Amino acid sequence: MAGVVAAGWVLAACGPAVPAPSPAPSPDVTGTSGEAHVTAPLVTAAPVTTSVDLVWPDLHAVEGEPVITGFRSSVAPVDAARLTSSWRPGCPVPVSDLRSVTVTHWTFEGTEATGELVLHAEVADSAVAVFAALYDQGFPIRSMRLVDEFGGSDDASMAADNTSAFNCRPVAGGTGWSEHAYGRAVDLNPRENPYLRGTVVLPPEGAPYADRPQEPGVVQDAQVAAFAAQGWRWGGAWSSPVDLQHFSTTGR
């Protein structure tokens, strides 16, 4: 299949440049004869109109252009069986108040991926709107998987540069529930946007990003504005800790 594609591509690319060997009354006729040379070998070489159909996807691959689907999202009830590490009896919200939210996002490789967050039902739609805006901005996100895939460990999730939301856990460095325990907070690209408290940097791999360099995946004013437009506030505006990865609808 690749051979057919390459031949088709070369012939098509060279067609217009081939001088007409026969008397050519007009440039239009020259173009027509060029087309005939291209299509004839394709028809005789393979029993196929279907192989012609396969030419376009392959050309995209050859040119290194990923197929773009555009932003998509879904909001659905979440099965408690999936929250084996992040939820337990005694958590401040019942599973029935939580939603599985999927969104399309850009990767650091310039391709699209589908990520999943667990969020409180009350903030699910606004979160979708935020991630639609981040998609429009071309903002890359490393990973977006449930913390349950990391055993519910915030440290492990952060070390994997994983963007996450719901996790029934105490607030970092304090007592009481984190806003994540209510599904009202999102941590975005934690490596590129670390949590800073004194000399503590979490995750430790985020140290090079503590001063918010202009690099992919680092939250800048445009991303803060995308969240703010939907009523989400940024932990990077706090004095201590400075939680660059953290956005919440309550400002906590």
Residues that bind Zn ion (CB under 5 A): 185, 187, 246
5 versus 202: smaller Cβ distance to Zn ion: 202
Q: How far is the CB of 17 from Zn ion (least distance, A)?
A: 58
Q: Which residue is nearest to Zn ion (CB)?
A: 246
Residue number, 105 or 246, with CB nearest to Zn ion: 246
- The CA distances from residue 2 to 9, 34, 43, 55, 117, in Å, are 10, 22, 16, 9, 39
> Hey, which residues does 116 pair with through a beta bridge?
102
Nearer to Zn ion, 191 or 246 (CB): 246
In the complex, least distance from residue 205 CB atom to Zn ion, rounded to whole angstroms: 17
The structure tokens 């901005």 sit at 137
* Distances in whole angstroms, Cα of residue 80 to Cα of each of 94, 130, 170, 192, 210: 9, 26, 20, 31, 36
- The 8-class DSSP code of residue 31 comes to H
- Tell me which H or E stretch contains 74: strand 73-77
**C-alpha to C-alpha distance for 229 and 232, rounded to whole angstroms:** 7
Nearer to Zn ion, 187 or 192 (CB): 187
Nearest approach in angstroms of CB 213 to Zn ion is: 21
- Specify the residue, 100 or 245, whose C-beta has the smaller distance to Zn ion: 245
Closest separation in Å from C-beta 152 to Zn ion: 14
User: C-beta of 185: minimal distance to Zn ion in Å?
Assistant: 5
